[in-house]
Each structure stands twice: as C-alpha cells, then as structure tokens.
C-alpha cells in the first residue's frame, strides 16, 4: 500500500485533477490510498466567510458560498462534461454548500464564532474536493471510492488543531480502508478533516492534509507516503524567496522535521513523526512535473553540514530576567510552566546566567502569560521578529559552517541565537523584515556554487 496525497494546487483545476488520475493509475499495482486537500484557496475563503458571517456581514458571506458553488460546479462540468454525471456530482456537492449557507446565517445571528463551528466550516473544502476527485477518477476508468474522513481520522476535541488518536485511527483504517484496497479499489479521503469519538468535525490545523497522509500511512503500515505539491520537492530554500533554490534529492527525517517546523510550508510540521515511528519513507513530488526526481525523506540520507535554509514571520520574543540577578532554583521550571498552563508552545530558547529568552508562534494568551511572568522577574516582549533556520545534520561537526553562517548575515541585527541540542538546527532571530534578506544571503553562502535552477542536491 502507498498513501498518495495531493495538495490544493494539485486538485485546483480540472487539468490538474486529470494529472493526479494518471499519477494514481501508474501506482495501481502498489495499492494507492489517496488523500486530497481542498481546491487551492478554498480553505482561506471558508475561514474568511466564517469571520464575515460572525461579524454580521451575511450578504458577503453568502456571496462567498455562492462563489464556491460556482467554482466547484464549473470544475465538475469541466471534468465530466455537461450531462447526467456532472449533474449527479453537483447534487452530491449541493447539500454541503447549502449547509454552509445555513451555518453562515446562524453565525450572523449569533454574532460569535466558536472553534467548533469554524472546523465544521473549514472541513467543507476537503469534503467537496474529495467528491470531485472520486467522480473524476471514475470518469478516467479508475475504481475510486470516497471514504469519509470522519470515520477514520479520529481525534480529541481540540478544535482547529485536533490531536489525532493513532490507535483509533489504525483500527478505523483497518475497517474502512484496507478491505477496499485489497479488493482493488482506490479509497479517496479528504485530508485535514477529523472527528471526535462522538462524530463532531475537527481539523488538524492549517496545512494538515500532509499530516492526514502520514497518519494514514503509519496506520496502514504503508510502504511509502507521497506528498504531491506544486514544487519539485523539498528545496534548499523556499523557491518563492530564493531564485536559485535547488531540489534536495534525499534528506533525513530529522532535517525535514526541523525545516517544516521553521517555515518550510511544503510539509506540515507534524508530517514526519508518524512516518518516523514506523520507518516509512516520505517522498515529495511535483504534480505539474511528475517525471522530476522529487525528494526522498528517510533515515539514511547523506549527512551534509547544511541541507536547507528556512524562515518564518512573524514571531514574538519574550525575555525574562531573574530579578535577583541569579537563576534561583526552579526559575526556569516556573517560566516554562507558565507557558504550559496557557497551552502556548515555545519554539526557540536561549538562556544566560540571569535571563531566558523564548520565541512564540501564538500570542493569543500573551497578556495573561506576561502577568504571571512578571512575578518571576523583569519581562520584555519583542514583536515583529522572524526566525531563520540553518538546517543540516552535520552542522555542529563542521567548524567552518557556523562561522560562515554568521559572516553571511553580517550587518543584520541578531536578537537571539540558538543551536538545537541535536546540533542540526542553527536558529537566528532577526527583525521580521530581515528574514528574506537573511535567507537569501545564507543561501548564497552555502549554495553559491549551485548549478542553475532545476538541478538537484545529491
Ligand atoms: P500544497 O497545497 O500542495 O500542500 P503548500 O503551499 O502547502 O502546497 O506547500 C508548497 C509550497 O511550500 C511551495 O509552493 C513553496 O513555496 C513552499 N516552500 C517553502 N519552503 C520550501 C522548501 N524548502 N522546499 C519546497 N517548497 C517550499
Ligand atoms: N486545506 C487545508 C489548508 O489549506 C489543508 C491542506 O491543504 O493541507 O490548510
Ligand atoms: Mg500544504
């Protein structure tokens, strides 16, 4: 069995969906299980529609729903032609869109959006796209069958960022997916979407379809997990930021996980963990260039000083200075307990004898956190910062690499610096508007002799 996941642009047009059908056809002998994202841009539309509805802008919200209806119906017609098949598909999609319009109306009356209703709305994108893909595959002569993600991706009730329950997922996958694959069918499941034990819709967080794919891969003991996207694989930097970014032919699990956590959007940060647990290789390929090499993510990729550079903005830095000018026993514990109590995860940490600095992605609990930290010492907050990550399994062993990294960013104000305990990730905190120049300069420093774009890092 293999799990094959197609992202938003891979299903964003009828032509792209047809390309995915051919990719799946080429894998029939390996028992493909297909995971699909919403059509490109649809999740953003759904989330802003929910905001508009809750803010009382019902007309705008309903217009957004009708825009989604037109787009999905047009894609159905393009895939199946005008006729009974397209009509049947549209009548399957219609109730989902009608429910969206009703939800919008309810929200506009309530004037309030809860994470639970947000998930019910956001999940509709993948429910719609999976219907389109099943129908398109059928028309292309592939034996596809829709599987409802609510029955398989079982999670807790942390709406908008639900925690999966791997054992329950494994049991459900054995019941709902394996028999279909054994019977020569192709299960197609919407990514990103999950459900609590009571069947209430949850989602795995933005970009979560990758995570659905790796959870399913681990649950099924798949031989490979393939992430099909709009770039040629994992690159030495985001190609939207660095012109000469090169495809990395193979990269280690730990490096890929660090890159994903520090801004390489090509993979959801949680994608790697389930695959590592069961030792399943993850591949990243380009749907628009299926004959490309792609990237293989495994345990045994070459150990390079630097494999890639990533970055993200904005992040917030919180600094706490012990008032006694000395770390008293338990100081760090109390600082971290404060973040834990507020369910706010800390990304990068640097400490000195008297102070600790941490970076945060989420700041919705920041005011409460700061009030509590004030009891421990002098606190300060720096907003509009960004983090740049230089990632390589051999980074700490290479005496030259660190110096080269710091020389490359000469003149850029560094607010914080940290080398991960595993020695594979040098994180540098700079002003948010310096992240792009820093990434470009670091890329030039480490990949300057790079052959032109399109070439591959062995
Ligand atoms: P999908 O919709 O297929 O899930 P995403 O937009 O989530 O696609 O992820 C693909 C995007 O990730 C690329 O278009 C690229 O701009 C971005 N990206 C960021 N860093 C990297 C990197 N190191 N390698 C490849 N792509 C990257
Ligand atoms: N559609 C979801 C999102 O845009 C999940 C995904 O595409 O991975 O976040
Ligand atoms: Mg994605």
Query: In sequence order, what DSSP letters do the residues of 376-414 get, joined into one string?
Result: TEEEEEEEEEEEEEEE-TTTTT-HHHHHHHHHHTTTSPP
Mean pLDDT in the chain?
95
Predicted confidence at residue 273, as pLDDT, reads 95
Confidence of residue 458 (pLDDT cuts 50, 70, 90): low
- Report the nearest-CA residue for atom 27 of ligand 1: 238
Find all residues with CB under 8 Å of 283, minimum gap 6, and list them: 224, 225, 226, 227, 294, 295, 296, 297
The rounded percent of the chain whose pLDDT value lies above 90 is 92
- 190 and 69 in a common domain: yes
In a domain, 177, yes or no: yes
Of the listed ligands, the closest to the CA of 11 is 1
Token couple for 239: 């190609």
Distance 85 CA to ligand 1 centre (A): 34
Query: In this structure, what CATH number is given to the domain that contains residue 390?
Result: 3.30.2130.10
Atom from ligand 2 closest to the CA of residue 37: 7
The DSSP element (H or E) to which 31 belongs, if any, is none
Task: Please work out whether the CB of residue 93 comes within 6 Å of at least one atom of ligand 1.
Answer: no
In a domain, 46, yes or no: yes
Among candidate residues 230, 263, 293, the one where a domain is terminated = 230
> Which is it for strands 377-391 and 425-431: parallel, antiparallel or unpaired?
antiparallel
Examine the pLDDT at 452 and tell me if it is beyond 60: no
- 121 and 10 in a common domain: yes
Report pLDDT digits (tens) over 43-72. Answer: 999 999 999 999 999 999 999 999 999 999
Find all residues with CB under 8 Å of 449, minimum gap 6, and list them: none
User: Cβ(335)–Cβ(319) under 8 Å?
Assistant: no
Task: Among 124, 125, 204, 267, say which to mutate for ligand 2: greatest number of ligand atoms within 8 Å of CB.
Answer: 125
- Report the nearest-CA residue for atom 5 of ligand 2: 207
Of the listed ligands, the closest to the CA of 309 is 1
Query: In this structure, what CATH number is given to the domain that contains residue 218?
Result: 3.40.1160.10
Distance 271 CA to ligand 2 centre (A): 13
User: Cβ(341)–Cβ(387) under 8 Å?
Assistant: no
> Which is it for strands 355-360 and 377-391: parallel, antiparallel or unpaired?
unpaired
- 161 and 28 in a common domain: yes
Examine the pLDDT at 453 and tell me if it is beyond 60: no
**Listed residue (199, 185, 175, 232) closest to 123, CA to CA:** 199
- 426 and 313 in a common domain: yes
Question: Over the Cα atoms of the chain, what is R_g?
Answer: 23
Confidence of residue 448 (pLDDT cuts 50, 70, 90): confident
Task: Please work out whether the CB of residue 16 comes within 6 Å of at least one atom of ligand 1.
Answer: no
In a domain, 244, yes or no: no
Domain of 435 in residue numbering reads as 308-446
Examine the pLDDT at 324 and tell me if it is beyond 80: no
Task: Please work out whether the CB of residue 265 comes within 6 Å of at least one atom of ligand 1.
Answer: yes
Q: What's the total number of domains in the chain?
A: 2
The DSSP element (H or E) to which 34 belongs, if any, is strand 32-36
Token couple for 275: 């695959």
Task: Please work out whether the CB of residue 230 comes within 6 Å of at least one atom of ligand 1.
Answer: yes
Task: Please work out whether the CB of residue 229 comes within 6 Å of at least one atom of ligand 1.
Answer: yes
The DSSP element (H or E) to which 59 belongs, if any, is helix 58-80
In a domain, 23, yes or no: yes
Residue 407 exposure: Cα atoms within 13 Å on the Cβ side: 8
3-class SS of residue 278: helix
- As for ligand 2, residues whose beta carbon falls within 6 Å of it are 7-8, 37-38, 43, 125, 191-192, 206-210
Distance 288 CA to ligand 1 centre (A): 13
In a domain, 398, yes or no: yes
Q: Among 235-244, 263-272, 347-356, 448-457, which stretch is predicted with the lowest mean pLDDT? A: 448-457
| Cα gap 379→370, rounded to integer Å | 7
Atom from ligand 1 closest to the CA of residue 209: 4
Atom from ligand 1 closest to the CA of residue 227: 3
Predicted confidence at residue 330, as pLDDT, reads 83
- 317 and 226 in a common domain: no
Task: Among 39, 41, 191, say which to mutate for ligand 2: greatest number of ligand atoms within 8 Å of CB.
Answer: 191
Task: Among 40, 203, 209, 230, say which to mutate for ligand 2: greatest number of ligand atoms within 8 Å of CB.
Answer: 209
| Cα gap 122→370, rounded to integer Å | 32
Instruction: Indicate the angle between helix axes 399-408 and 435-447, nearest 10 degrees.
Output: 140
- 425 and 329 in a common domain: yes
Confidence of residue 329 (pLDDT cuts 50, 70, 90): confident
- 437 and 322 in a common domain: yes
**Listed residue (106, 128, 126) closest to 116, CA to CA:** 106
In a domain, 95, yes or no: yes
Distance 133 CA to ligand 3 centre (A): 18
Of the listed ligands, the closest to the CA of 12 is 1
Q: Phi and psi dihedrals of 344, rounded to 5? A: -115, 120
Among candidate residues 174, 198, 230, the one where a domain is terminated = 230
Among candidate residues 182, 205, 230, the one where a domain is terminated = 230
Q: Tell me the average pLDDT across 171-186.
A: 98
- 354 and 212 in a common domain: no
Token couple for 396: 């700490």
User: Cβ(420)–Cβ(429) under 8 Å?
Assistant: no
In a domain, 268, yes or no: no
Atom from ligand 1 closest to the CA of residue 239: 16
User: Cβ(241)–Cβ(291) under 8 Å?
Assistant: no
3-class SS of residue 314: strand
In a domain, 255, yes or no: no
Confidence of residue 331 (pLDDT cuts 50, 70, 90): confident
Examine the pLDDT at 456 and tell me if it is beyond 80: no
Q: Tell me the average pLDDT across 345-351.
A: 92
- 82 and 219 in a common domain: yes
Examine the pLDDT at 363 and tell me if it is beyond 70: yes
| Cα gap 197→209, rounded to integer Å | 20
Examine the pLDDT at 327 and tell me if it is beyond 70: no
Task: Please work out whether the CB of residue 338 comes within 6 Å of at least one atom of ligand 1.
Answer: no
Predicted confidence at residue 304, as pLDDT, reads 94
Distance 209 CA to ligand 3 centre (A): 7
User: Cβ(147)–Cβ(180) under 8 Å?
Assistant: yes
Predicted confidence at residue 455, as pLDDT, reads 57
Question: What letter does residue 1 receive in the DSSP assignment?
Answer: -
Atom from ligand 1 closest to the CA of residue 268: 7
Q: Which residues pair with 282 in a beta bridge?
A: 225, 297
Where are the strands (E) in 221-353, listed by range? 224-229, 247-248, 250-252, 282-286, 295-298, 308-322, 346-351
| Cα gap 126→129, rounded to integer Å | 5
- Report the nearest-CA residue for atom 10 of ligand 1: 266
Q: Tell me the average pLDDT across 143-162.
A: 98
Atom from ligand 2 closest to the CA of residue 206: 9
Sign for the CA dihedral angle at 369, 370, 371, 374 comes to positive
Predicted confidence at residue 390, as pLDDT, reads 98
* Vertex 238 angle, CA 123 and 366, to 5°: 60
Task: Please work out whether the CB of residue 215 comes within 6 Å of at least one atom of ligand 1.
Answer: no
- 220 and 103 in a common domain: yes
């Amino acid at each position: 069995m293999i799990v094959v996941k197609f992202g938003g642009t891979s299903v964003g047009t009828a032509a792209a969906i047809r390309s995915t059908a051919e990719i799946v056809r080429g894998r029939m002998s390996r028992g493909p299980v297909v995971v699909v994202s919403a059509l490109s841009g649809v999740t953003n539309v759904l989330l802003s529609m929910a905001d508009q509805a809750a803010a009382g802008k019902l007309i705008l919200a309903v217009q957004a729903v009708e825009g989604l209806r037109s787009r999905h119906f047009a894609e159905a017609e393009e895939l199946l032609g005008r006729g009974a098949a397209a009509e049947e598909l549209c009548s399957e999609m219609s109730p989902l869109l009608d429910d969206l319009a009703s939800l919008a109306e309810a929200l506009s009356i309530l004037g309030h959006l809860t994470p639970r209703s947000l998930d019910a709305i956001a999940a509709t994108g993948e429910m719609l796209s999976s219907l389109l893909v099943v129908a398109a595959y059928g028309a292309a002569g592939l034996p596809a069958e829709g599987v409802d993600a609510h029955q398989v991706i079982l999670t807790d009730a942390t709406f908008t960022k639900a925690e999966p329950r791997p054992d329950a997922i494994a049991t459900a996958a054995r019941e709902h997916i394996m028999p279909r694959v054994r019977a020569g069918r192709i299960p197609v499941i919407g990514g990103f979407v999950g459900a609590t034990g009571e069947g209430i819709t949850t989602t795995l967080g933005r970009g979560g379809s990758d995570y659905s794919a790796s959870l399913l891969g681990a649950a099924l003991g798949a031989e490979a997990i393939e992430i099909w996207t709009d770039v040629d694989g994992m690159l030495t930097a985001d190609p939207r930021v660095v012109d000469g970014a090169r495809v990395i032919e193979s990269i280690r699990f730990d490096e890929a996980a660090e890159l994903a956590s520090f801004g390489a959007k090509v993979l959801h940060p949680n994608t790697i963990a389930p695959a590592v647990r069961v030792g399943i290789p993850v591949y990243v390929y380009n749907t628009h260039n299926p004959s490309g090499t792609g990237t293989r993510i495994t345990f045994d990729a070459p150990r390079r000083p630097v494999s890639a550079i990533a970055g993200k903005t904005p992040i917030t830095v919180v600094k706490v200075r012990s008032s006694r000018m000395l770390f008293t026993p338990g100081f760090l514990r109390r600082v971290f307990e404060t973040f834990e109590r507020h369910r706010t995860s800390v990304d990068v940490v640097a400490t000195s004898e008297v102070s600790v600095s941490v970076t945060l992605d989420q700041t919705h609990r920041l005011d409460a956190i700061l009030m509590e930290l004030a009891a421990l010492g002098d606190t300060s907050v720096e907003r509009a910062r960004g983090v740049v990550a230089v990632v390589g399994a051999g980074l700490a062993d290479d005496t030259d690499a660190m110096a080269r990294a710091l020389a490359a960013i000469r003149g850029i104000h560094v607010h914080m610096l940290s080398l991960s305990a595993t020695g594979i990730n040098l994180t540098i905190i700079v002003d948010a508007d310096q992240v792009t120049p820093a990434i470009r300069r670091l890329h030039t420093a480490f990949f300057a002799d790079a052959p032109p774009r399109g070439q591959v890092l062995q």
